[in-house]
Amino acid sequence: MINKIRKGVDVKMTLEPYLREEHEEMRKVIRAFVEKEIKPYVDEWEREGIFPRGLFKRMADAGLLGLHYPEEVGGQGGDYFMGIVMAEELGRVGCGGVPMAIGVQTDMATPPIYKFGTKEQIEKYLKPALKGEKIAAIGITEPNHGSDVQSIETRARRVEDGWIINGRKMFITNGTRADFVTLVARTSDEKGAKGISMFIVDTDLPGFSVSKRLNKVGMRSSDTAELILDNVKVPHENLLGAEGQGFYQIMWQLQGERLNGAAGAIGIAQYIYELALEYAQTRYAFGRPISNFQVISHLLAEMKTEIEACRELTYAVAYKFSRGDVLPKEISIAKLSAAQMAHWVADRALQIFGGHGYIEEYPIARLWRDTRLFRIGGGTDEIMKEIIAGQMGL
């Protein structure tokens, strides 16, 4: 897919510091896929609380699941900004649930396997995930622990021929149908970060079960579950990376997850803004479009300003991250800003729609609910502020 695009464009042409013509060509490909394969079915999937498993395979067949992974691991060989463009364009599907589930597959559960996994793990898990043949989930949060990863209670005990894992994981996207979970567990009595490791856990193992499917306020088209691990025996070869390094591995993973979340928030905010602009230009009051009223035109200008400011910030940070710089403060600023902005834009858009915005007949009500999760998932606003303050030496 990407090689075909490269052959058709001048890759040296720079549209802006971060995006080339090939990125914009890929944007068109993704947008066309969204319009044909996702958007027409969103209402149905929202009602059902899940979208078909086959969507992963259709996206893979279209070359969209592994955009920024190297070809040797089953990806398309694109750069990091291919993934950023993907996250933005998925924001246009008309809901937040589908993009979130796809983001888990491409930018949350699988990057640690690429970064820390063995050749065998890449063959068994990463490649099938990028082909849409296996669905992935990321298992961090627990009923009593979310942002405080160092305090997780899920325990992995070493035995002669593997590990026995016991614990519970909560709020797991793709949890009801995942084929494997990239999971964080405690492997020693040592307190804090040093006692944590990561595992790849197949969900068909004895003792692994879905306790319940969660009924959420928004993001309804993605399945979310509580998982139970009751003496689940995992082979030694499913330890991901080095024992005791799981906390540092998951902290690295969270940086990419937060950038992906920021890009997704920007994409959905852009889509919401366009809906609000179109409505304001076609909705008449007192004989003229409401966009002609200063209070509305200024509000639209503010919305556009906030979106573009967050986009430029996220692009700048993503550029550094793509070159190996892990910048927790800057990434946290981008995530915090974009998350708050997206829900702020959705709230203002709902106000522009007025009573129509508060009924399910219009998409703004759904998007208003969905954007609220950006301020919780991947690190709450409060945790982002803690990281920023800590990096500032406060």
Residue 14 pLDDT more than 50? no
pLDDT single digits (tens) 133-177: 999 999 999 998 877 788 899 999 999 999 999 999 999 999 999
pLDDT single digits (tens) 234-261: 999 999 999 999 999 999 999 999 999 9
The CATH fold assigned to 2-130 is: Butyryl-Coa Dehydrogenase, subunit A; domain 1 (1.10.540)
Stretch 113-132: mean pLDDT: 98
Res 17: pLDDT: 80
User: Can you tell me the distance from the alpha carbon of 241 to that of 340, in angstroms, rounded to the nearest whole number?
Assistant: 34
257 is catalytic: yes
* Cα–Cα–Cα angle for 321, 245, 326, rounded to 5 degrees: 10
Res 144: pLDDT: 87
Stretch 286-312: mean pLDDT: 97
pTM: 0.93
Res 10: pLDDT: 47
Res 145: pLDDT: 83
Query: Of the residues 46, 257, 306, 330, which is catalytic?
Result: 257
Q: What are the C-alpha distances in Å from 280 to residues 266, 274, 291, 308, 351?
A: 21, 10, 5, 20, 11
Q: Where are the domains of the chain?
A: 2-130, 136-242, 248-391
264, 262, 259, 239: which is closest to 249 by C-alpha? Answer: 239
Stretch 163-192: mean pLDDT: 95
Residue 121 pLDDT more than 50? yes
- 231, 207 contact by CB (below 8 A): yes
Query: Top-level CATH class of 136-242?
Result: mainly beta
Domain spanning 248-391: CATH 3.10.129.10: no
Residue 375 pLDDT more than 80? yes
